[in-house]
Every structure is written in structure tokens, then in C-alpha cells.
Amino acid sequence: MNKVIGSSIRLMEDTNADVGVGSLIIFIAMILVAGITASVMIQTMNSLQQQAVKTSEETLKDISSGLRVTHVSGYVSDSKITQLAIFISTTAASDDMDLTYAMLSLSDSSTKVVLNYTSQCYSSSVSNGLFGTLNSSNLTSSRYGLMVIRDVDGSCTSTLPTINDQDLVVLLVNTTKCFSGISTRTDVSGELYPEQGIRGIIGFTTPSSYINTIVDLQP
């Protein structure tokens, strides 16, 4: 603001404008910080949402999919069980289960073995009886064979043994290779681990004597 004193003119300082500019700078800075903060929060929320969706999908698969053991039979030779036939199917409303990645653990209380599927011992049907269809001598203490009993859609093949709803297959185990056979009064336990989902449980005690060649062990 100009002020006349006598015949001279001089300028007077006005600091109000400086205060206004400073306030404007602070206001703009606050808007920028708020915008950046909001952007970071939105990105974090999106990331957490995607992670939550993925986690929920995996959790649903874990609790709604899986394998179950429906029956276990044994073949007796020389007063020992030399082969096990383990009947398995999928749980209700389960996703497709690829047995290529299914691991079978078995224990006779003194020895524990872990077995995987081998395509060298496979049959699309039980053509010569439960213990006569596959050549069990081709099995080892780390490999089990597979026979198909029911497969409506033909999804269970030797190279891709995938089972789904209402399918029923048998896993064949050479217990002579695993435990030198299973004697009477022996506690046997095991689990069938799918790639994802609920695992099948195996648990039985062999009878006090073997009267028949084929014995039902579970359930």
C-alpha cells in the first residue's frame, strides 16, 4: 500500500499476503499427502482382498476335497499277509484327484514306508480277481499299483490316474517287500495323502489267526 508523506512516496510492507501463500502451500501439501496415503491404502486393500480370496479358495479345497479309504483286504500266504488291497474314492463334492501325486504311508508298528504310484502296475479293470490281476512282484517298498473298479467317465488312466465323484479304485501293496509280510495280531496304520485336501485314514489290527486266504481288515 502506498502512502504519501509530503512530496515523497514510499512503499509500505504488507505481510498478510505472505501468510496467505504459506497457508496455501501447506494446504496443497496436505492434499498431496492425503492423496498419496489414500492411494497406498487402496493398493493395500486390493492386495489384501486378492490374498483373502486366494486363501479362502485354497481353504475350501482343503476342507471339501480329498480321498477316503472305504475298505482294506489282505491276501494270506505262508501265514502272513503278503498283499494289501486298499479301496479308495473321493470325498463328497470333491474336486478331481490325481493319484500321480498321492502318497501312501504305511506302518506295521516297527517299520514305516512311503509309497507312490507306478504306471508299470496298472489295470483298467479287475479281470482276474482282486489279487490276481496285477503282478505284485513288480511292486516295491516305495511303489503301489492301481486297479480300476468303477470309472464312469474314463478319467483314470495309467498315465493320468485321476478319480472323481463316484469313482472307485484299488491300491495294491506288496507287503512282503514293505514289511516281509504282516503277521497276526499286528497293528497297521497309514494315511493316503492327496495333492490337496483331506487324507484317507488306514487303521486295523490283523486277526489272531488267518483262516481264509483273503481277509477283510477295514472297516
179-194 per-position pLDDT tens digit: 999 999 999 999 999 9
**Can the peptide bond before residue 219 be classed as cis, meaning omega within 30 degrees of 0?**
yes
Q: pTM here?
A: 0.73
Contacts of 176 (CB under 8 A, 6+ apart): 80, 82, 83
- Write down the pLDDT at residue 67: 93
- Write down the pLDDT at residue 117: 95
Q: Please write the tens of the pLDDT for every residue from 63-110.
A: 568 899 999 999 999 999 999 999 999 988 788 899 999 999 999 989
- Write down the pLDDT at residue 9: 59
- Write down the pLDDT at residue 150: 95
Task: Dihedral sign for Cα 87, 88, 89, 92, please.
Answer: positive
- Write down the pLDDT at residue 203: 96
- Write down the pLDDT at residue 68: 92
Contacts of 143 (CB under 8 A, 6+ apart): 115, 116, 117, 118, 120, 121
* Secondary structure tally for the chain: helices H, strands E: 2, 13
What letter does residue 15 receive in the DSSP assignment?
A: T
What is the rounded distance in angstroms from the CA atom of residue 168 to the CA atom of residue 125?
Answer: 11
- Write down the pLDDT at residue 217: 96
Estimate to the nearest angstrom the gap between the alpha carbon of 163 and the chain centroid.
15
- Write down the pLDDT at residue 53: 62
Task: Report residues of the chain scoring pLDDT below 70.
Answer: 1-22, 48-49, 51-64
